[in-house]
């Protein structure tokens, strides 16, 4: 039997989870490997980075895709469980589950459409993309998956931790003066819709009002307008409203028509900013793409 790709792993994984129990990801990887009768050498095969086995990587991506479709869930960190939707899928006895199949599920389609389209190929097809395009597409897919995972984690954090997260992000972006100054400012205002007031720069030449709420719902114009009104009480002209949810079109239009400068950061942008400024994330691995240095050979040509 040939070595399975990540799509080959999807149906066996869901079938293993059909018992309704919580499974450790490590055990699930071994169970999938058993399904494909992988040898010890196959199980030990590493990615080129040498930091993860190939089968663990492919099971991991199969898990991510099935989770995005709502067919499985992570009840706690490192554990996986089938969902009611996953049971419904198995009840129809599919012969294969792959990305085409998962596009029947709206949550997965939304996630999949965020990424640059990747040309999927097999041994009998030629790729129409350049190596650079393939790298860019893969990077986009990895970043989007990380952003979704980050946002899900942030939504589960306590309000206090969320406030600290906002402080760390703003300081990483260059706002708030020192970390100590910013930490004291957030959560101390108690002025209506304002959660804190921080310095715009290290010198404190201007201040920025902050509101940071873990909302799952859409934030409408009334909430934004209330925030703008609270800024009047401290004579602030600039503000940042951060939510783990989304903003309505009316709310976005409102901030473009008022004198005060209010920046709206929704959940997706929050996750992107965390990735960009290395808040709550760490480097898994890095690849350096090199090219020939033509200047080095210039004297030879002369």
* Domain-wise residue ranges, the chain: 10-114, 159-276
Name the pTM for this structure: 0.71
Contacts 24+ apart (CB under 8 A), 179-183: none
**Which of 9, 126, 50 is closest to 287 using CA atoms?**
50
- The answer for residues whose C-beta is within 8 angstroms of residue 161's C-beta and 6 or more apart is none
- Pairing assessment for the beta strands 207-213 and 194-199 based on DSSP bridges: antiparallel
What per-residue confidence (pLDDT) applies to 183?
Answer: 56
48 DSSP 8-state letter = T
What per-residue confidence (pLDDT) applies to 85?
Answer: 97
What per-residue confidence (pLDDT) applies to 42?
Answer: 95
Fold observed for domain 159-276? Trna Endonuclease; Chain: A, domain 1 (3.40.1350)
Q: What are phi and psi of 114, to 5 degrees?
A: -75, -25
Cα 169 versus chain centre, distance: 16
Dist. CA 122–CA 283, nearest whole Å:
30
What per-residue confidence (pLDDT) applies to 255?
Answer: 95
Q: What tens-digit pLDDT sequence spans the chain (302 residues)?
A: 689 999 999 999 999 999 999 999 999 999 999 999 999 999 999 887 777 899 999 999 999 999 999 999 988 878 999 999 999 999 999 999 999 999 999 999 888 887 544 444 444 444 445 667 678 778 888 898 899 999 999 998 888 888 889 888 988 888 876 666 665 555 544 445 678 888 777 666 788 888 888 888 899 999 999 999 988 877 889 999 999 999 999 999 999 999 999 999 999 999 999 999 999 999 888 888 887 787 888 766 55
CATH no., domain 10-114: 1.10.10
H-type alpha helices, the chain? 10-16, 25-35, 40-44, 54-68, 84-91, 99-102, 106-114, 131-155, 159-172, 179-185, 221-233, 249-256, 267-276, 298-301
């Amino acid at each position: 039997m040939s070595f399975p790709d990540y799509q080959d792993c999807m149906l066996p994984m869901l079938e293993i989870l059909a018992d309704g129990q919580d499974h450790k990801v490590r055990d699930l990887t071994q169970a999938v490997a058993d399904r494909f009768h992988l040898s010890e050498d196959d199980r030990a095969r590493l990615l080129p980075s040498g930091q993860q086995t190939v089968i663990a990587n492919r099971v991991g991506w199969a898990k991510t895709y099935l989770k995005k479709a709502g067919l499985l869930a992570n009840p706690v960190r490192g554990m996986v469980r089938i969902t009611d939707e996953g049971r419904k899928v198995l009840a129809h006895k599919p012969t294969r589950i792959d990305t085409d199949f998962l596009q029947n599920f709206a949550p997965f389609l939304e996630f999949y459409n965020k990424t640059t389209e990747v040309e999927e190929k097999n041994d009998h097809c030629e790729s129409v993309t350049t190596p650079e395009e393939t790298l860019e597409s893969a990077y986009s897919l990895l970043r989007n998956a990380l952003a979704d995972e980050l946002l899900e984690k942030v939504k589960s954090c306590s309000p206090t931790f969320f406030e600290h997260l906002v402080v760390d992000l703003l300081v990483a972006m260059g706002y708030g003066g020192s970390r100590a100054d910013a930490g004291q400012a957030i959560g101390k205002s108690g002025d209506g819709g304002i959660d804190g007031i921080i310095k715009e720069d290290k010198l404190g030449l201007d201040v920025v009002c902050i509101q940071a709420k873990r909302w799952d719902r859409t934030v409408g114009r009334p909430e934004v307008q209330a925030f703008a009104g609270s800024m009047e009480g401290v004579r602030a002209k600039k503000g940042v409203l951060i939510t783990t949810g989304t903003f309505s079109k009316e709310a976005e239009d409102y901030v473009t028509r008022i004198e005060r400068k209010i920046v709206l950061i929704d959940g997706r942008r929050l996750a992107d900013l965390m990735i960009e400024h290395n808040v709550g994330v760490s480097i898994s691995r890095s690849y350096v793409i090199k090219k020939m240095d033509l200047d080095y050979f210039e004297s030879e040509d002369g």
